[in-house]
Structure 1
Amino acid sequence: MVVEKEGTVQINGTALYTKSWLPDGPTKAILLFIHGFSDHVNRYNTFFSTLASRGIAVHGFDQRGWGRSVHKPSDRGLTGGTEQVLADMAAFMTPYLPSGPNDPPVFVMGHSMGGGQVLTLACRGEYQDKIVKRVRGWLLESPFIGFSPEEQPSSLKVFAGRLAGKLLPAFQLKHAIPPANLSRDEGVRKSIAEDKLMHNLGTLEGFAGLLDRTAALAGGQVKPLHGAVKSLWIGHGTEDKTTCFKAARKYFDECLKDVEDREFKAYEGWYHQLHADGPDSERFYQDVGDWILARCGGGGGGGEEAEEGEGRVQEGVEEAAAGKTSSKL
């Protein structure tokens, strides 16, 4: 049985929606998840429940401007710039990071836009001691390191967007990715089209930050600092029509050479949402769970020690929210 808990965490005066998928038994590992553009954590429910059933506690939040963290129409896509995005992620992650040898190991995973954000944070100097060195492993699902041919904007559009973003940063612009480009599963495509929380709106400031992060990654300007990232896994569909498979592979080959424990998993013929690409997705769940659990030995926690560690994590979240975190089963 998997226990699901919803809540909120206050970050810089804004209440952001959180959700956890907790094992009914001992917690072997903790996974912190960052979702993609116009997405929200409840769309990963089957994936997260499967991991939790194997002893991996999953914690995620709807990022500022997305999902249930939107409180009024003007909030849609209002993510702020890159510094705000990374600060939100760091504030969410920090209470879950291990403080002792008996705490469960922590892993961080990002999908699509969230994958690019996770990779950017892992490479930033100011987050090395507080976060990066305390994370056991990093996982990227279809990370946004480059546009697919189907989504590649013209250079003129990019230039105009960046210029306009400086003048009207909060101006909302719609960018809808066709559901047919995201998954091979007709049921998933239909649910995406009908999901009112997937509003497809971003601000010019948010889009500019997204473009800048992606360009820096694709250009090899952003790399992990030597020895800071212990383990890293990338999963990417070869027929991804949203983010570029070749760009992710190139980044893995050229920019991740210093990560001793690294793996690139190519899913032949798969689309963008590996977690929701039809019946085959069960293999993706298995791959992710296996990779995490294989790195949980030696101080990874287990049994009563792991349960106590997860309890300390939950207490830390409540303290971080200064009494403003609410949870419900």
Structure 2
Amino acid sequence: MKHQVATLRLPAGSKSAGAELFTQSWLPDGPAKALIILVHGYDEHSGRYQYFAEHCTGKGYAVYTLDHWGHGKSAGINGFIPAFSVYHDGVDALIASLPTETANLPKILVGHSLGGLISATYLLDKQDGFAAAILSGPAIKAADEPSAFLKFISGILSKIAPKLGVISLDANGVSRDPQVVADYLADPLVSGQKISARLGREMMVNMDLIQREAGKITLPLLMLHGGEDSLASPEGSSFLNKNIGSKIKQLKIYPDLYHEIFNEPEKEIVLNDMTDWLNQHISDNQPN
């Protein structure tokens, strides 16, 4: 496996134009058969996916990823985002930076948690660039659905106090493996910041968007979710499975697993399920 790190800048027109984002990639020792574009979740970073990358490169897949604006080693403010589109701009910039020799390889979009919401909404306009997509514990529906009043208040706070921290995440919901939780809490690139009023509002708006327009997604889609996920409701993945327009789709809910299914004790089963599904479906569904 070959590992590379780099940086890129968000393009002109982005709400954070010129901001520098940290990127990294893991490449198999031999020729790659496809590229995975990995989109991580809230208050984490690409470096937490080393084991994921080792598994995927061992199966012949190259993995390209970035730290979102406001995350990890990238520029930005922890817990905040000026607009949700900045996340999409980062994915655009990452794909634009791919080596030219990989241009004809199938691309697979893989998003976890907030990254699942970023990925799902990204697909509404950009799915033609991918052979398939995988969503892991996507934040399509909140564990506790906000009331209409809360949505109204969030809209006001997003305008008058956009950086105010309003939502905390319980690290104990990350994994049943206590070492994973301890490592997460001790990670200097995990800020521990609350989700800001602006980011919370942007997430609600984009959850509503994907729930309204899920039928536009038609590419092969695999949804993976922990049945005991307390941070992103499994109902979100079930909703997508029922409402997307894809002819090739599969939903797998792992009954006892928590939020980070790629970091649970059963992670090898989950990762094999993922790459087995990819091996079955990407060859006949490569975009032009």
Taking only the aligned residue pairs, the percentage that are identical comes to 22
1-structure distance, mates of 2:45, 2:181: 15
Structure 1 residues 202-221: aligned runs within 5 Å: 202-217=195-210, 220-221=211-212
Structure 1 residue ranges without an equivalent (≥5): 301-329
Name the Cα RMSD after superposition. 2.3
Take 2:64 and 2:166, find their aligned partners in 1: how far apart are those partners?
Answer: 28
**1:161 is matched with which residue?**
154
- Mapped to 1, the partners of 2:174 and 2:148 lie a distance apart of 24
Change (3 A) 1:159 1:299: closer
Alignment partner, residue 13 of structure 2: none
* 1:30 equivalenced with 2:25 (yes/no): no
2:148 aligned with 1:133, yes or no? no
Other-structure match for 2:274: 288
Match of 2:49 in 1: 44
User: Does 1:106 find its partner at 2:107?
Assistant: yes
**1:251 and 2:250 are equivalent in the alignment:** no
Residue in structure 1 matched with residue 184 of structure 2 by the alignment: 192
Q: CA deviation at 1:14?
A: 0.9
Distance of aligned partners of 1:296 and 1:215 in 2 relative to their CA distance in 1, 3 Å threshold: closer
Q: CA deviation at 1:155?
A: 5.4
Counterpart amino acid of 1:91?
A: A
Between 1 and 2, higher relative CO (CA 8 Å, sep ≥ 6) is seen in: 1
CA contact (8 A) 1:137 1:231 kept: yes
The change in CA–CA distance for 1:93 and 1:158 in structure 2 (over 3 A counts) is: same
1:189 deviates by 0.8
Q: Per the alignment, do residues 299 and 162 of structure 1 end up closer, same or farther by CA in structure 2, a change over 3 Å counting?
A: closer
The alpha carbon displacement at 1:162 in A equals 2.1
Contact 2:214 2:240 in 1 (8 A): no
Matched, 1:19 2:8: no
Q: Deviations over 1:260-283 (max 9, x none)?
A: 1111111121111000012x1001
| Mapped pair 1:236 → 2:225 | yes
Question: Unaligned 5+ residue runs, structure 2?
Answer: 11-16
Q: In 2 relative to 1, CA 298–210 (structure 1 residues): closer, same or farther, beyond 3 Å? A: closer
Output the amino acid matched with 1:121. Answer: Y
Bigger Rg, structure 1 or 2 = 1
Q: 1:274 aligns with which of 257, 261, 273?
A: 261
Note the C-alpha offset of 1:10. 1.1
TM-score, normalization by structure 1: 0.78
Letter in 2 for 1:176: S
How does the TM-score come out when normalised to structure 2?
Answer: 0.89
CA shift, 1:210, in A, is 0.9
How many Å apart are 1:134 and its aligned residue?
A: 2.1
Distance 1:221 1:99 in 2: 37
Q: Aligned residues, how many? A: 279
CA distance in 2, matches of 1:97, 1:221: 35
Aligned twin of 1:4: 3
